[in-house]
Structures are given as C-alpha cells and as structure tokens.
C-alpha cells in the first residue's frame, strides 16, 4: 500500500463539453438535470446514435500565430483554455515559477486523428496528403500537448498520456510525482478528445453505441453515447494556496484481463480505488460522493455498481454523469474531476441522468436525482480499454483525513 501523500492544491480548473463552455454552463446543466446529448449530426454519414457535441468549434479559429496547429481537437483545446480565466491563472504561475518549472501533462485517446482522417478523405492525385494537411505535428498522438505547450509558452516536462478512457485522470498522478520530486513547482493537467469517425464507427463496430441517449446504470441500458470535451486544472503545492480545493490522492492499476472488457469482478477497479483511498488516508465512509465511470455499457456498469455496493456505506452518494456529457473518452477523467470539484464547491450531488429504471445491482449509494448536501470528499473513477484504471480523490480546502 502507498504512503499517505501530501495533498496538492487545485488552484484553477475548467471544463467545456456538450453542457457548454466553462464551469458555469456545466453547473447550470447539472442543477437543471439537463442533458447535453443530441441526435448525431456529425460526419458525412452519421450513424444513428446520440452525441455530446460542443457547439461553436467550426467557427472557433485559432490565433494567427498558432494557425499551423488548426484542427478540431486543438480548437476545442483552445476554446477550453479560454474559459474560467484559466489562461490568466497559467500565465501567473508561469511568471511566478518560470516556464521551465511548470509541467504540462495532458490526456487524450485519439488527439487530432480527425485531421488524419480528413487527409485520407482528400488525398492528392498522387495518393499523398493534400498540401494543407502536410503538418506532421497534428498527425501524432502528442498533437494536443505540443499545441497547448506552444499556446501557453510552457517549457517544463511535457507529456501525453494516452491510455484510452483513463488518460486525463492519470495525468494527476504524473503531476504529483514530479512535484514531490521537486522537478517542477506547478503542473497544468487535463485532456481533450473530439468527435471523429474513428471513435464513432469504432465503438459502433464493437456494438457498444446506443441508438438512444445513454442510460448509465439503467436496467435497460444499451450502450454508450460518445461526446467531446476539454478540461484543464492547475496543480500547485498547498502551502501556496491553502484555500484551494485539494487533490488528496490517486490510484492506478491494470486489470490484466481483456483489451476491451473489464475484469468481471472489478479487480483492477478495486485496486485503483484502494490505492487512492490509501494514498489519501481515507476510510470509505469519509467519501461523500463518487463520480462513477458509468459509461452505460452492460459490463462496465455491472462491475462498477457491484464495487460501489460492496465498498461503501449508503451515506456515500454515487452517480454517473455520462448522461449529461456523453462519454468523452480521453477527456472523461478531467471533465469528471471538475464535476467532483463542483460537488464539493456547491454541495451538489449530481443525479444519475438516464437511470430511470435502476439496475438491481445498484445499491443504496446511487443518487438517481440531484441531492443537495455538504460534500467534503469526492472521488472520480476512470477506466479504459486495455484494462487501465484510475481513481482520483479530491477534498474541500482544509480537509484533513
């Protein structure tokens, strides 16, 4: 078991998804139990399904100096960075610590693969990429982090984590380790994934996409709805920001079971949970809210609900928010981290949208509708293909386990 870690301050955070641009839009939608999902209107041959699409990307051009990075994913990254004063907070951290002392650690599942798809749709007569797509940096998994490094003028450690749907949760762990070693004084973490044919047709080929808005933990759930999102957080040491909410712990594990289905007893998920609780120095009963991975796939929800039922008392409230945003894949970790932080900040347990007829495997912990209560500690679960699991623990400023 890991040692209890010194918490980190989350000194700024932001999210942009189908719920809107920035945290206020997200909070409004959560409070109103209003989904951001819509019938699929993406791509030239849309599949029959619902998606969580971010409005305004088609006209959200990048600043001229960054124009060579242009693609849907980097547009969403830029739109996201411009919400909630996040750019200014990063500039202040850069000025305070120096550009080389701020790490940039971002998660993404497919980065700007949508641009590579487009190049293949418009190949030249000689079979090569069209001239305007001959931009090597956007056809690589590191496209997002390299673009954001340029946009934020950061010069510290810079890494893309791409472990499918746990990507932008795991970046918190990398940041904590670098801070603990003194390699850096602050870290920008987060992630971005955008709608593209690869994921829409790919999950469809796996028969994991619902023709309706997704219904996490519903007895009649029939698959995921795919969404897109950008989210970021700024992490610093708590002595510099004692009044900021805290990253209390994190846990990571591998299922060692199957590439695209979870371990049937949730072994890896439980290891990640226990690791996060141990690192945070928490008893399960101290956890007020868990934002679940809850994709609305048959297997994930069954395994995760059973884990919640056996590991937590009924006073711990739990829900999936995928019914609001869709499954934003590599961005899910950071988006749901911001929801966990909003739960703490606004005493709001978001209801499990779409779970109208609860699966009997779900315990008394499930919040099927919004609940207003003080939340001191909130967890966020993120599980990905390849059996890759992460769990984050956040707490109110000043909380001591």
Partner 1 sequence: MSDLRVYVEGIGLWSPQLADFAALRSLLAGQTPAPPPARPTAATLPPNERRRAPASVLLAIEAAGQAVAMSGRDAATLACVFASSHGDQTITDYMCATLAHAPAELSPIRFHNSVHNAAVGYWTIATGCHAPSTAIAAQAASFGAGLLEAASQVLTEQRAVLLVCSDGAGSWPLAEVTDCDQPFACALVLAPAAGAATLARLDLQLAPPQPDDALPEPLAGWCRGNPSARSLALLAVLASNAGSCRLAAAPTLGLQIAMEKVA
Which residues fall within 8 angstroms of residue 91, CB to CB, at 6 or more apart? Answer: none
Q: Is 65 in the site for partner 1 (CB under 8 A)?
A: no
Q: Is 174 in the site for partner 1 (CB under 8 A)?
A: yes
Q: Site for partner 1 (CB under 8 A): which residue of 33, 55, 70, 117?
A: 117
Distance of alpha carbon 49 from alpha carbon 222, whole angstroms:
11
Which residues fall within 8 angstroms of residue 235, CB to CB, at 6 or more apart? Answer: 8, 9, 10, 11, 172, 175, 176, 179, 186, 187, 188, 189, 247
Sign of the CA dihedral with 291 first, then 292, 293, and 294 last: negative
Please give the DSSP secondary-structure letter assigned to residue 203. Answer: H
Q: Which of 21, 71, 142, 165 is catalytic?
A: 165
Count CA within 13 A, CB hemisphere, residue 301. 31
Q: Please identify, using beta-carbon distances, which residue of 16 and 166 lies nearer to partner 1.
A: 166
Q: Please identify, using beta-carbon distances, which residue of 60 and 66 lies nearer to partner 1.
A: 66
| Minimum CB distance to partner 1, residue 110 (Å) | 8
Q: Site for partner 1 (CB under 8 A): which residue of 125, 136, 239, 400?
A: 136
Q: Site for partner 1 (CB under 8 A): which residue of 97, 368, 385, 399?
A: 385
| Minimum CB distance to partner 1, residue 272 (Å) | 8
Q: Which of 21, 293, 362, 391 is catalytic?
A: 293
To the query of whether residue 293 is one of the catalytic residues in this protein, the response is yes
Sign of the CA dihedral with 25 first, then 348, 190, and 291 last: negative
| Minimum CB distance to partner 1, residue 82 (Å) | 23
Q: Please identify, using beta-carbon distances, which residue of 98 and 358 lies nearer to partner 1.
A: 98
Q: Please identify, using beta-carbon distances, which residue of 253 and 365 lies nearer to partner 1.
A: 253
- ∠ CA 107-112-116, rounded to 5°: 145
Q: Footprint of partner 1 on residues 72-111 (CB under 8 A)? A: 99-100, 109
Sign of the CA dihedral with 385 first, then 29, 320, and 252 last: positive
User: Is the Cβ–Cβ distance between 282 and 249 less than 8 Å?
Assistant: yes
User: What is the widest separation between alpha-carbon atoms in the chain?
Assistant: 64
Which residues fall within 8 angstroms of residue 378, CB to CB, at 6 or more apart? Answer: 287, 288, 289, 290, 291, 340, 341, 343, 344, 393, 394, 395
- Contact stretch for partner 1 (CB under 8 A) within 26-34, 74-82, 131-139, 209-217: 131-139
Count of residues that bind partner 1 according to CB under 8 A: 74
Three-class DSSP category at 295: coil
| Minimum CB distance to partner 1, residue 333 (Å) | 13
DSSP for 149-163 reads HHHHT--S-EEEE--
Q: Please identify, using beta-carbon distances, which residue of 63 and 136 lies nearer to partner 1.
A: 136
DSSP for 25-49 reads HHHHHHHTT----EE---SSS--SS
Q: Which of 21, 263, 327, 391 is catalytic?
A: 327
Q: Site for partner 1 (CB under 8 A): which residue of 80, 156, 227, 326?
A: 156
| Minimum CB distance to partner 1, residue 381 (Å) | 15
**Helices 72-81 and 143-152 sit at what angle, rounded to 10 degrees?**
40
Q: Footprint of partner 1 on residues 189-208 (CB under 8 A)? A: 197-198, 201-207
Q: Footprint of partner 1 on residues 215-254 (CB under 8 A)? A: 252-254
To the query of whether residue 158 is one of the catalytic residues in this protein, the response is no
To the query of whether residue 165 is one of the catalytic residues in this protein, the response is yes
| Minimum CB distance to partner 1, residue 336 (Å) | 19
Helix (H) or strand (E) holding 12: strand 8-17
Q: Footprint of partner 1 on residues 253-292 (CB under 8 A)? A: 253-260, 267-268, 271
- Contact stretch for partner 1 (CB under 8 A) within 56-64, 141-149, 296-304, 373-381: 141-149
Q: Site for partner 1 (CB under 8 A): which residue of 157, 281, 284, 358?
A: 157
Tell me the catalytic residues.
Answer: 165, 293, 327
């Amino acid at each position: 078991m890991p040692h209890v870690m010194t918490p980190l301050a989350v000194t700024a955070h932001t999210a942009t998804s189908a719920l809107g641009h920035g945290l206020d839009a997200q909070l409004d939608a959560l409070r109103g139990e209003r989904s951001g999902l819509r019938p699929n209107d993406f791509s030239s041959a849309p599949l029959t399904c619902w998606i969580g699409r971010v409005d305004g990307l088609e006209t959200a051009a990048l600043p001229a100096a960054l124009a060579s990075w242009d693609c849907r994913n980097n547009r969403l990254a830029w739109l996201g960075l411009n919400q909630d004063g996040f750019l200014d907070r990063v500039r202040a951290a850069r000025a305070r610590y120096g550009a080389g002392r701020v790490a940039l650690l971002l998660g993404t599942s497919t980065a700007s693969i949508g641009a590579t798809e487009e190049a293949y749709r418009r190949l030249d007569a000689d079979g090569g990429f069209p001239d305007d797509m001959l931009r090597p940096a956007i056809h690589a998994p590191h496209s997002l982090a390299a673009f954001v490094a340029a946009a934020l003028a950061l010069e510290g450690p810079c890494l893309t984590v791409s472990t499918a749907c746990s990507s932008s949760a795991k970046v918190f762990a990398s940041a904590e380790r670098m801070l603990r070693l003194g390699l850096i004084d602050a870290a920008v973490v987060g992630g971005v994934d955008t709608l593209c044919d690869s994921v829409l047709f790919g999950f469809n080929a796996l028969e994991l996409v619902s023709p309706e808005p997704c219904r996490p933990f519903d007895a009649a759930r029939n698959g995921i709805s795919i969404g897109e999102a950008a989210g970021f957080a700024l992490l610093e040491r708590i002595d510099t920001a004692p009044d900021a909410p805290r990253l209390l712990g994190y846990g990571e594990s591998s299922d060692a079971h199957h590439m695209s289905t979870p371990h049937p007893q949730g072994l890896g998920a439980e290891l990640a949970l226990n690791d996060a609780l141990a690192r945070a120095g928490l008893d399960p009963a101290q956890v007020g809210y868990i934002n679940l991975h809850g994709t609305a796939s048959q297997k994930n929800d069954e395994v995760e609900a059973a884990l919640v039922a056996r590991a937590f008392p009924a006073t711990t409230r739990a829900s999936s928010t995928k019914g609001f945003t869709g499954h934003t894949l590599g961005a899910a970790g950071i988006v749901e981290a911001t929801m966990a932080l909003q739960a703490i900040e606004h005493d709001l347990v978001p209801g499990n949208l779409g779970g109208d007829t609860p699966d009997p495997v779900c315990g008394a912990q499930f919040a099927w509708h919004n609940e207003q209560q003080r939340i001191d500690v909130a967890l966020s679960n993120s599980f990905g293909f390849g059996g890759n699991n992460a769990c984050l623990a956040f707490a109110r400023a000043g909380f001591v386990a």
